[in-house]
């Protein structure tokens, strides 16, 4: 969707990603969802490490700007919540399949 | 464009307003700094900002006020010349105080932006939750 009013300001308007089915994924053994979760965990670790190092700087008095830490901390909190939500969905799907009568 | 752009943009604004507050504190602290007449007066700092390409704001420079200052007759001052003059900085205190309020309000507005962003992320996480 093009929003000419804000494009003039140098912003690229948000374009939602379109999910496309990849028929070869399950055959090749590469699971898209598992990769997504693992990638998310890696990124979560990086974000949390950043927040942790800033927390250490705050404790030792080396922190230049307070908002650097608070923003990193809230970023880490939201990323953690998103990862947990994804994990819950995965577990939910797994138990749903396990409940299937054979 | 990443997921945390709102936070990043608001963070850049917080940084700029923090620097602005720092320069104002520096100017106000030195409003009574006298120099001898053969030296430059204390120069007040003024922040120059510009918008960032990907969104946000950054400090692009620091301008300094007139080094001429103003001559004040104060013969009892240890730095006074043979005519009894010292050089005081050219700082308009009322302008500095107005800017102090503007910088404070700008900082507070950016904090509110981060709060709204956090609420938006929390709302997005509610999608699909039983």
Q: pLDDT at position B42, please? A: 93
CA-nearest of A84, A55, A85 to A71 is A55
Check A65 against B122: CB less than 8 A apart: no
Domain that holds residue B47: 5-129
- Coil, strand, or helix at residue B51? strand
Count how many domains chain B has. Answer: 1
**What is the bridge-based pairing of β-strands B70-73 and B57-64?**
unpaired
> CB within 8 A of A17, min separation 6: which ones?
none
Average per-residue pLDDT for chain B: 91
Check B55 against A11: CB less than 8 A apart: yes
pLDDT value at B95 more than 90: yes
pLDDT digits (tens, 9 = 90+) for A40-63: 888 899 999 999 999 999 899 888
Q: pLDDT at position B28, please? A: 95
Helix (H) or strand (E) holding A68: helix A66-98
A chain contacts of residue B54, beta-carbon cutoff 8 Å: 10
Establish if A12 touches chain B: CB-CB under 8 angstroms: yes
Q: What is the DSSP letter of B43?
A: P
Please report, for residues A35, A71, B81, the alpha-carbon distance to residue A51 in angstroms, rounded to integers and kept in the order given. Answer: 24, 9, 55
Q: What is the DSSP letter of B71?
A: E
CA-nearest of A74, A86, A71, A96 to A37 is A86
Q: pLDDT at position A22, please? A: 57
Chain-centre distance for alpha carbon B98 = 11
Helix (H) or strand (E) holding A10: none
Give A48's strand partners. none
Compute the distance between CA of residue B32 and CA of residue B26 in angstroms, rounded to an integer: 11
Poorest-pLDDT segment among A34-38, A97-101, B25-29, B34-38:
A34-38
Q: pLDDT at position A13, please? A: 64
Q: pLDDT at position A8, please? A: 64
Q: Which of A75, A76, A84 is most worth mutating to test chain B (most B CB atoms within 10 A of its CB)?
A: A75
Q: pLDDT at position B10, please? A: 93
Which stretches of chain A drop beneath a pLDDT of 70? 1-14, 19-30
Find the mean pLDDT for residues B8-23: 94
What are the structural domain ranges in chain A?
A: 3-99
Compute the distance between CA of residue A77 and CA of residue A70 in angstroms, rounded to an integer: 10
Check B125 against A14: CB less than 8 A apart: no
B chain contacts of residue A68, beta-carbon cutoff 8 Å: 11, 15
pLDDT digits (tens, 9 = 90+) for B58-81: 999 999 988 888 899 999 999 999
Compute the distance between CA of residue A80 and CA of residue A40 in angstroms, rounded to an integer: 9
Check B125 against A82: CB less than 8 A apart: yes
Establish if B114 touches chain A: CB-CB under 8 angstroms: yes
State the nearest Cα–Cα gap between B15 and chain A, in angstroms.
7
């Amino acid at each position: 969707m093009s929003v000419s009013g804000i494009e003039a300001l140098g912003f690229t308007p948000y374009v939602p990603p379109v999910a496309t089915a990849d028929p070869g994924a399950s055959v090749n053994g590469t699971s898209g969802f598992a990769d997504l979760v693992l990638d998310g965990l890696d990124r979560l670790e990086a974000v949390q490490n950043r927040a942790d190092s800033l927390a250490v700087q705050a404790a030792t008095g080396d922190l230049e700007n307070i908002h650097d830490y608070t923003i990193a901390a809230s970023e880490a909190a939201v990323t953690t919540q998103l990862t947990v939500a994804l994990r819950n969905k995965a577990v939910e799907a797994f138990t749903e399949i396990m409940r299937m009568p054979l | 464009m990443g997921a945390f752009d709102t936070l990043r943009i608001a963070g850049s604004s917080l940084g700029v307003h923090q620097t602005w507050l720092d320069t104002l504190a520096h100017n106000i602290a030195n409003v009574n700094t006298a120099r001898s007449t053969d030296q430059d007066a204390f120069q007040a700092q003024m922040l120059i900002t510009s918008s960032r390409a990907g969104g946000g704001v950054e400090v692009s420079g620091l301008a300094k006020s007139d080094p001429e200052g103003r001559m004040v007759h104060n013969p009892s001052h240890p730095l006074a010349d043979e005519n009894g003059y010292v050089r005081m900085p050219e700082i308009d205190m009322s302008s500095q105080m107005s800017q102090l309020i503007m910088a404070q309000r700008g900082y507070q507005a950016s904090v509110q932006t981060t709060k709204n962003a956090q609420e938006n992320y929390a709302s997005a996480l509610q999608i699909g939750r039983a």
